[in-house]
Amino acid sequence: MKVAVVGATGMVGEVMLKVLAERNFPITELLLVASERSVGKKLTYIGEEYTIIGLNDAIAAQPDIAIFSAGGGTSLEWAPKFAQVGTTVIDNSSAWRMDPTKKLVVPEINAHELTTEDKIIANPNCSTIQMVMALDPLHKKYQMKRVVVSTYQSVSGTGVKAVQQLENEIAGVKGEMAYPYPIGRNALPHCDVFMENGYTKEEMKLAREPQKILNDRTFSVSATAVRIPTAGGHSESVNVEFHNDFELSEVRKLLSETPGVTVQDNPDTNTYPMPIYAHGKDDVFVGRIRRDETQRNTLNMWVVSDNLRKGAATNAVQIAEYLMENSLVSSASEAVS
């Protein structure tokens, strides 16, 4: 496959290249694409040096797959142009997620919905991905009614500028601020921009995306998203009310048997998920599994994942792998001709 990584110089783009290499994705030609200010710079992939090219040159090369992580504006403008030349686009921004004509995909859950007609495929929000990975097997068994989630999100979810702000604060250095307040020794109940309803855009992604991924609007999600001073890995406190009752032993078994989910749940040995353990890993980690004793059929759990991997890069690469393995993507140049 001829593969383009759009946004190759960004934080997620760098992880994307790392994941492609780790998973031995079959690339016959690699195009590293970034904004005009980065064109001509060099990047190394598996020991070979590549020159960054611009978007127009990438389209002219007609890649078979283009994995985008360059922001919503770039995706809205350029993804259709890639699709027009036969490229299948996997987009990591929020640009296409709630578009009713585009699939929103977590491969373990709904990759089977993909067809050869899907030329722009949306990668869900990082916090959504880890939450639905834990909820999907439980929803199938017990039928969710309502989810209340509070997130504890790494500064890496904001980007390089935010990571630098945290590092500056730790070092006692004054520098550019990604947030309106210090993040070190602090917690900001402010992820993304505020909307008219008082929720942030991040919180509304958590409310709406799971319904689309699970193809079910019979349950609701209420979210509060908080930024904390961790360098990598998002954590979530998830409270889920089901229509049907459950046994905790069965919940643990269901989650343990779910591909991509690892249960870490033993209070006797202080075993529970933490960002420091999830860093650099692709699984979603679930622990602190316990019954909510204040109302019927309700479960509490703690969900942690590396937001740059399963929350972004790994999920996108898994989509690309599924497309290839199921012959849902072909040579773009052949498709156009």
pLDDT (tens digit, 9 = 90+) per residue, 151-173? 999 999 999 999 999 999 999 99
Asked, for residue 106, whether it belongs to a domain, the answer is no
CA distance 288 to 117: 42
Angle between helices 126-142 and 248-256 (to 10 degrees): 130
How far CA 112 is from CA of 94, 209, 239, 320, 325, in Å, comes to 22, 18, 28, 13, 12
154 within some domain: yes
Residue 128: closest CA among 27, 221, 215, 46: 221
Confidence class of residue 94 from pLDDT cuts 50, 70 and 90?
Answer: very high
Domain count within the chain? 2
Is residue 75 located within the same domain as residue 161?
Answer: no
Q: Does 191 qualify as catalytic in the annotation?
A: no
**What percentage of the chain reaches a pLDDT higher than 90?**
97
Output the domain CATH number for residue 233.
3.30.360.10
Task: Look at residue 226 and tell me whether its pLDDT is greater than 90.
Answer: yes
Tell me the average pLDDT across 267-275. 98
* Residue 184 is assigned to a structural domain of this protein: yes
Residues 6+ apart with CB under 8 A from 220: 145, 146, 147, 207
Per annotation, catalytic residue among 139, 234, 243, 279: 234
Provide the residue range defining the domain that includes 215: 127-306
Dihedral (CA of 159, 98, 127, 193) sign: positive
pLDDT > 70 in the chain, percent: 98
Report residue 114's pLDDT band, with 50, 70 and 90 as the boundaries.
Answer: very high
pLDDT tens digits along 51-88: 999 999 999 999 999 999 999 999 999 999 999 999 99
Spatial neighbors of 314 by CB under 8 A, at least 6 apart, are 19, 282
Q: Check whether residue 285 and residue 329 sit in a common domain.
A: no
**302 and 321 part of one domain:** no
118 inside domain: no
Question: What's the whole-number average pLDDT of the chain?
Answer: 96
pLDDT of 129 over the 60 cut: yes
Q: Are 100 and 179 in contact (CB under 8 A)?
A: no
pLDDT at 303: 99
pLDDT in the model for residue 330: 74
* pLDDT for 332 beyond 90: no
* 196 lies in some domain: yes
Mean pLDDT score, 3-20: 97
Residues 232, 88, single domain; the answer is: no
| Lowest mean per-residue pLDDT among 221-235, 248-262, 319-333 | 319-333
Q: Per-residue pLDDT for 259 more than 70?
A: yes
pLDDT beyond 70 at 334: no
Q: How far apart are alpha carbons 149 and 127 in whole angstroms?
A: 10
- Domain assignment of residue 104, yes or no: no
126 annotated active-site? yes
Q: Is residue 335 pLDDT above 70, yes or no?
A: no
Over 90: is that where the pLDDT of 176 sits? yes
In sequence order, which residues have a C-beta less than 8 Å from that of residue 261 and are 6 or more positions away?
133, 134, 137, 255, 283, 284, 285, 286
| pLDDT of 242 over the 90 cut | yes
Alpha helices, H only, the chain: 11-22, 55-60, 72-84, 107-110, 126-142, 160-171, 201-213, 248-256, 275-278, 314-325, 332-336
Read off the pTM.
0.96
Query: Do residues 138 and 261 both lie within one domain?
Result: yes
CATH number at residue 26: 3.40.50.720
Do 274 and 181 share a domain, yes or no? yes
CA separation for the pair 5, 17 (Å, rounded): 8
Torsion angles phi and psi, residue 114, rounded to 5: -70, 145
Tell me: pLDDT of 26 over 60: yes
- Strands 220-227 and 29-33 turn out to be unpaired
DSSP-derived letter for residue 333 is H
